[in-house]
């Protein structure tokens, strides 16, 4: 009878060992996939963060360019007004000279 218990426990251990062996690969595969998914999510998060930083830099550069463009337009307007004033003064001077000489 004691030999029967030993044989029965050996058979139970054999089946338990086969069960563990069979499902260990699936368990490790799930762990590996979860790890890969976590790594992929971290990489995606880093990519999105980098993309946001680059987009912010582009917006800042565009804002600087737009500001500079407005400054140039104002300066061109000021120079145009200055040229018109000079031209008016010159024309007035020439008109007065013509009136005096006539």
**In Å, how far are 2, 60, 62 from 74, measured between CA atoms?**
106, 21, 18
Q: pLDDT tens digits, the chain, 102 residues: what are they?
A: 678 889 999 999 999 999 999 899 999 999 999 999 999 999 999 999 999 999 999 999 999 999 999 999 999 999 999 999 988 888 877 767 666 665
Pairwise CA distance, residues 55 & 62, whole Å: 10
């Amino acid at each position: 009878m004691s030999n029967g218990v030993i044989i029965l426990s050996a058979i139970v251990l054999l089946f338990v060992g086969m069960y563990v062996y069979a499902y260990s690969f699936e368990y490790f595969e799930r762990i590996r996939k979860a790890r890969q998914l976590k790594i992929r999510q971290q990489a995606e998060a880093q990519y999105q963060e980098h993309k946001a930083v680059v987009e912010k830099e582009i917006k800042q550069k565009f804002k600087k360019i737009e500001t500079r463009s407005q400054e140039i337009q104002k300066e061109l307007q000021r120079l145009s007004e200055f040229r018109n004033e000079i031209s008016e003064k010159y024309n007035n001077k020439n008109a007065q000279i013509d009136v005096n000489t006539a």
